[in-house]
Amino acid sequence: KFNGHESWIYQEQIQEVATQATQEAVLDAQFNDIEQKWKALEFTCVNYKPENLRNKEVYVLTEIDELQAALDDFLASLNNILGSRYLKMLRKRAEKLQKDVLIAQETLDDWLQVQKNWIYLENIFASQDIKTKLKEENALFENVDKQFKAIMKKTNSQKQVHRASGLLDKFREYKETLNRIQKALESYLEEKRMAFPRFYFLSNDELLEILAKSQDFDAIQRNLKKCFEAIYRLEQPEEGARSVNGMISPEGEKIPFVKGVSTKEEVELWLMKVQDQMIESLKKRMKQGKVESETQERNHWLLNQPAQVVATISNLIWTYDTEQAINSMTDDSTALSKHYNLLYESLNGLTALVRGTLTPLQHKVIVALITQDVHARDIVDALTDENVSSISEFSWQQQLRYYMDENDLIIVRQVNAKLNYGYEYLGATTRLVITNLTDRCWMTITGALNIKLGAAPAGPAGTGKTESTKDLAKALGMFCVVFNCSDQIEYKMMGRLFSGLVQQGAWACLDEFNRIDIEVLSVIAQQLLTVRQALIRRDQQFIFVNPDKPINLKEEVGVFITMNPGYAGRTELPDNLKVLFRPVSMMIPDYKLIAEIMLQAERV
């Protein structure tokens, strides 16, 4: 106790007590406001798939951003309070509330991860086929599914966030279980992809749609065009039959199989048989087409053969006739000129034919053949000007030449490269107008393949880098996957793509390859080096991504990259990646020549 007249003696102490009391009152007001808002904070729940009766009373969290922002604000305010030197009486309460909010944040993070995984897996395990094939994982999922739905139902009726503080351990357990299920699912999908490598070119969702509806023929047909170059639909003997006996292109061209394929097996097994029948049927039609070309009138032959047979056998005949003319040059100096005149007359016949009455399919066949034959005529014209008299001269060796070996299989040669024809069904596809630029690009690609390298066409946009690669794939009957690269590409994604390519023996054209991050490019360099070393060793199998699972290797595989140098956001390729690709510069195409040939083909 002290007399008021003596208060000046204790002025500092009085001011300190007054300031402490004032600041504590401010902090107390702030804390009470935060505590009140914390107790009032609620989850927002919505019905999950309300149109689905099975999920009529199933709820999921929504408006998460607002909730997370509120929790962040609480923590920021509590940190300010706990950082104050005037905090004494409130400290324990503030620390407890801070701990509760932090637990709520952790719980919400795990909750959202569980919800995301649950939504993904719920769609998958809704399929009876998947349930049957993944029985153990289905049992685990059903347990999590039951408990998650119960928690969400309770949350919808008691929405206060602070009530969820005891759920952290449960959600961590659910997250671990769902991750385990997803790993098992990935392993299951990998097995299916290894059984039918074209599945590597589908996303997980697309593949799961096929596997989940393996008895639904229409669902499988919808994804066929992503697995095959030109099989748009498969032909059935009759509606609802459990077998297929032919393939149909997007243009409506039909090619029957040598032998029907039953669809009663696992989907990946019968699709592999479809692939085998595609190849066998094309081999048979090629052999038959060559024989018939020697006995039938040309126009009749052209209009009654599949488009791919017309294009390929025409190249085969042109190669043979041109070599005969070259070899005759020593005895008859006009042999190539005579051959040129025959080609010129043949082209006139084709342009007259294209003006006649043709079906849309026949029109496509003839237009593609004219585009191809104009280039063949121009090659012979150049050979005549150079007075070529031996088939070993470079002017002839640099051309893409077609031969049929003793086993009636087509092989293609260019310079010192020898490539097997791929027999991928192409339908009545259009063909690229071939210019000197295209020829140079093709020579680089075939030469690179011959020494187990890739090729890297580089140049400004619109110079034909991707289209030239795709058209060479058509010329060689190869399945070519075009993959658009970006800075979002991860090395695991590329590893999966390369796994599919080497097992299928397919080509990939990686568009705008230098947009990929440098760290990912370094890993890709190692992946491609592993593939090349296996090709050089002529391995039948090799270890690639998974050290426990060797994969098959087909020597026809090819990886090509296109780049736009100097554009913004492009990466300089590391040296260990550059050496795996032969570069070729693509400049401005000959638009005048392209326009002339296109107009001639369409007879405009």
Q: Could you state, in order of their start, the residue ranges of all structural domains in the chain?
A: 12-191, 218-290, 296-435+591-604, 436-588
Is the separation of the CB atoms in 559 and 528 below 8 Å? yes
| Beta carbons within 8 Å of 598's beta carbon, 6+ residues apart | 371, 433
| pLDDT tens, residue by residue, 501-511 | 999 999 999 99
**Structure token pair of residue 63:** 């408006």
In this chain, the answer to whether the domains covering 218-290 and 296-435+591-604 adopt an identical fold is no
> What integer pLDDT is reported at residue 436 of this predicted model?
85
> What integer pLDDT is reported at residue 18 of this predicted model?
61
Please give the CATH number for the structural domain made up of 218-290: 3.20.180.20
**Structure token pair of residue 145:** 């599914």
DSSP tag of 513:
G
3 state SS of 557: coil
> What integer pLDDT is reported at residue 458 of this predicted model?
86
As its CATH architecture, domain 296-435+591-604 has Up-down Bundle (1.20)
> What integer pLDDT is reported at residue 566 of this predicted model?
64
As its CATH architecture, domain 436-588 has 3-Layer(aba) Sandwich (3.40)
3 state SS of 27: helix
User: Which residue type occupies 62?
Assistant: T
Other Cβ atoms closer than 10 A to 536: 10
> What integer pLDDT is reported at residue 303 of this predicted model?
92
| Beta carbons within 8 Å of 194's beta carbon, 6+ residues apart | 503, 549, 551
| pLDDT tens, residue by residue, 128-179 | 888 888 899 999 999 999 999 999 999 888 888 888 878 889 999 999 999 9
> What integer pLDDT is reported at residue 10 of this predicted model?
58
**Structure token pair of residue 538:** 């002529």
> What integer pLDDT is reported at residue 417 of this predicted model?
94
> What integer pLDDT is reported at residue 217 of this predicted model?
85
> What integer pLDDT is reported at residue 477 of this predicted model?
95
Please give the CATH number for the structural domain made up of 12-191: 1.20.140.100
Name residues of the chain where pLDDT drops below 70: 1-27, 50-56, 83-89, 566-569, 600-604
User: What's the whole-model pTM score?
Assistant: 0.84
> What integer pLDDT is reported at residue 520 of this predicted model?
92
For the chain, the straight-line distance linking the first and the last C-alpha, in angstroms and rounded, comes to 114
Is the separation of the CB atoms in 48 and 60 below 8 Å? yes
Backbone angles phi, psi at 480, to 5 degrees: -120, 125
Q: What ranges make up the beta strands (E) of 112-191?
A: none
What distance in Å separates the CA atoms of residue 601 and residue 592, rounded to the nearest whole number?
14
> What integer pLDDT is reported at residue 16 of this predicted model?
65
